Structure 1
Amino acid sequence: MLNAMQHKNTRALVDRITEAAEASLAAQGCVSPVDVLLGIGWLDPGAPKRWRRGQIDCLEAAIQTNPSRITEAMTLFRSWAAGKGLSASETQHVARTPQRQTLRFSRSGDPTIEQLYRSQWVSPQLSEKKRERLAEKASRAPELVVIQPLNAGWACHRCGGTGGLLMMENPGPACLRCVGLDDLEFLPSGDALLTRRAKAKSLRHAVVVRFSKSRGRYERQGLLVEPQALKDAQGELDAQRSE
């Protein structure tokens, strides 16, 4: 009776994984373990975002099942990918923090398990150029996000200071000086060409957002960029526009 129930549960999990993996593959030409975990409902959509912001130590801590079931699901997923003839490519995942630390997937941090999580499975029907673009996109470091707070009375959890901009960390809001971004200059939205050029010239940048109560979402206000990058970009545009 117990074996029959276990077999039924395994079959049900196989079907769920297959459905989630097929959907991701059809939508983007590739599929990762995180895509599958989201698709079968073991990860809530906000968990990867919190993980990338450094608010979760490892992604497995947010997976809503026990470790043995996670192992079973990942084994079934790799079996499905191999059966489809997909090829694996390893991607890099870094945090959306100024430190850009490598993100950890598993509780154990075992290198073999981490590599399995980082593997993205790609359709063999895609061209080599398309595969390279997918790998580059998956490994691209996420943009840093800085917030213009609605509450002017906030306090930095590190130094107790305040300011017009903050970055959220796991313990709470942090001022730009404490996170090492206070040397950047604010470039408001409005001039798309200047924004693109300044961003391209700046080795560091961060997106500035502010919460809109009327729309119920964060909206982009501009960028923080290196002052010299902004100066150079502005100089180039001024010269071009005066010709």
Structure 2
Amino acid sequence: MDLVVIQPLKGRHCAECRQGPLTMHLLEFNAPVCLDCADLAHLVFLPRGSAALTRRAREASSLWAVVVHFNRRRRRYERQGLLVEEAALARAESACLADADARARRRERDAVRRAAEDVRFTVALTAEILRLFPGCPPARAEDIAAHASVRGSGRVGRTAAGRSLARAAVTAAVRASVRHLDTDYDTLLMAGVARQEARARVAAVIEGVLASWLGPAER
């Protein structure tokens, strides 16, 4: 189990030595303990950002801890980096410098591969949209597919169901496009209407557009 060190939102004091306010602390029996009292003060902070450096420093360090900070907007703790031994960090930095060019070339190859995969998937998603909704204008189907499949967006095209072109996921992507582009949904939200109420108000319009795009066998 990982050691977890917290960057607190508010200044807290160590339950043992009363030092504070603390920039980092552990929780022991729900009480903050400073790094000195926790025997972690000799570790150095490595911010997140470089996956290779983080992995190598963690592997080289006999003692390390995950540093987290509470995100109030998302209401969850998020990783900020690691505390590692200084010598381990130095070795990791040297290793990363030694193969920096090779890793850069690998990133370039991976980027090209991912771009090609994204193009193939967007084409496949467009085709599936037009199969399910043959009345949908082809350019609109392309726009829906491109929007739904943006890598890292968390949209329906990036879900497991979306990647497998499941009917429900494809329909959800089309429905979302209609909701935002063919109804007053966004205007209602900006006017302060609650999301569920706004969806209820535009539901009939959405169903009408979808019905007009369905093939004769689907109507």
Q: TM-score range by the shorter chain?
A: 0.3 to 0.5
By relative contact order (CA 8 Å, sep 6+), the higher-ranking structure is 1
Larger radius of gyration: 2
